Structures are given as structure tokens and as C-alpha cells.
Amino acid sequence: MKITVIGAGAVGCFYGAMLARAGHPVTLVGRPVHVDSVTRHGLRFESPAMDTYIAVAADTRVQAAEDADLVLFCVKSADTVDAARQLRPFLKADAAVLSLQNGIDNAAMLEGALGRPVIAAAVYVACEMAGPGHLRHHGRGDLVIGDSPQSAEIARMLGAAGVPTVVSADVRVPLWDKLVLNCAYNALSGIANLPYGEIRNVEAAEETMKQLIAECLAVACAERVGIDLDVERQFERIRHTIPAGQYSSMAQDLARARATEIDYLNGAIVRRGLAHGIATPVNQALMTLVQLLERRPAARGG
């Protein structure tokens, strides 16, 4: 099965590397600085268990997807529609598209822009790009993907490549579980520029996380999503999910003066809360703080 990764950041590089190590032909589509490094040296894959270089093709053009049987779509949420429109002319009629993105709206946006079905996925991996062509993996890597005619085959292939993958009949549940985790943690880590281990030892921070979770669960209930609505159980799930040394993707974006996905995480809760008449003041406050941090001169390239 030929695989193309659209958006070869940390998530795309991790799953692309795992599949390439298993012998699948993989092409990473990403920024020139990463493509140049991967083309010259291979993708450096650093983890607690290994530090090695993986041979994988890399390209800056979406045309690289024209012969792909499976496309892993891994761009940032704000880039979804534009990247999908660029990709659309090059997709084979029978190619499967798997959205490995944060948030709960990307698969629907992607379907609208591509004019074809898309498989949604909840992604559980802690990783970062430590430099050009250099992936640093901190932990996990499992997926929960939506049901489709291709999902069982894709899950088997990923599982054989060392990526535990479950097919869910109602993928909204794991997508919302992941959204709750992201809303509770990402912005706090980004604003403080601290890993989870430093945050969870501060009592006020843990209380804030519980307030964030409570607001998310109130909105999920109004949306009739069948997730666990108990705040304490959700909080404990998050405590056991995030590695202590992990900076959130939002912290990594802010540190690199890049736009974040705040509008698609806490912002999604704020918008849905307004639609249902549910107050979400803590999510609103964190969304505002991150948006202000994005406006700092360094974040604007000044």
C-alpha cells in the first residue's frame, strides 16, 4: 500500500516513519527545511528506545499523493481547507483519506473540501520536531479511527507496523475524549511554557483543569455525545495519559512563534457553548490569553 503524508510535522512524521519501518512505501509532504534534511539523511527518529535514521521519501508538493492508496492528512486545523483543495485534483478515486488532526471538526471540513468520505481519527501520541528532519517521540502512538469500508484493512496495517489501532463505530466519542484532554491541558502548557509534570504539581492548575473539563462535559452533554461525564474520572484519565515531560503542541507552537490551534480546541467549546446557552468562562479566558500571545511581536515575525 502506497502512503502519502500531507503535513509532515511531528504527528505525520511519526506515523509515516512507523509505516516506512514496516516496509511500506511512504512519502512525507512538508516544509522545504524538513524535506531537504530527510532527503539527504533520512528521518531521524529519536525515542527512549532508539535513535536511528529511517529511509523515507520526502517532497514539498501535494502532487506526491497522486499514486497514493492511503493519505494521512496531518496539517494544522487552520490549513485544512486550503490543503485539501490543493490535494483534491491529485487523489486517486479509490484512495482512502485518514484525518490525523486535533479537534472535532476537521474530518467534516476535509470531506467538504475534497468532496469525498474521510475517516476521522483520535490520535494519542506525544512527539515533537526537535529540528529539521528530526522527530523526537516521547510516548504512545495509538489511534482510534472511524468505521468505513477501508478501516479494518488500515487498522491491520497500522497494527502490524507497531501502531495499535481500534476501529470505532462511533468515532465522535474518542474525538471528544481527545478534545477534553486538549482543552484541559494544551493552553495551560502553552501559556506557562511548561510540561505536564510541572503543571500537575500545582494545586490551582489542577483545579483550573477540572473547571475546563466541567465546561467541556457540559457542552458534550448538550451535543448528546456519549462520553463519560464525570469530571473526576476524566481528570484521572488525563493524568494517566500525558507523559510528565511532555510540552503540549500548543506550547511548541508558541515557542516557535507559530499560529496555534486554539480556535479549534478551546474555541470549539466556546462556540458550541454559546449555541447551547452554556457558559464556558474558563475556556474563554484561556482562548483569549493564547490569542493575545499569538499577537506578540515575535509571533508576528517582528
CA-based nearest residue to 266, from 208, 201, 225, 200 = 208
Strand-pair partners of 28: 5, 58
Is residue 178 flagged as an active site residue? yes
CA-based nearest residue to 211, from 240, 179, 235 = 235
The one-character DSSP state at 248 is P
What is the DSSP code string of 262-289? Answer: GGGTHHHHHHHHHHHT---HHHHHHHHH
CB atoms within 10 A of CB 169: 7
- 227 and 177 in contact (C-beta within 8 Å)? yes
Residues 6+ positions from 12 with CB-CB distance below 8 Å: 5, 6, 28, 30, 72, 74, 100
Query: What is the separation of C-alpha 115 from the centre of its chain, rounded to a whole number of angstroms?
Result: 22
- 163 and 16 in contact (C-beta within 8 Å)? no
Q: Which one is catalytic: 2, 92, 178, 210? A: 178
Alpha-carbon distances of 246 from 17, 64, 189, rounded to whole Å? 20, 32, 9
**Percentages helix, strand, coil for the chain, rounded to the nearest 5?**
50, 20, 30
Pairing of strands 43-46, 51-54: antiparallel
**Helix, coil or strand: residue 28:** strand
Phi, psi of 162, deg, nearest 5: 90, 15
The residues annotated as belonging to the active site are: 178
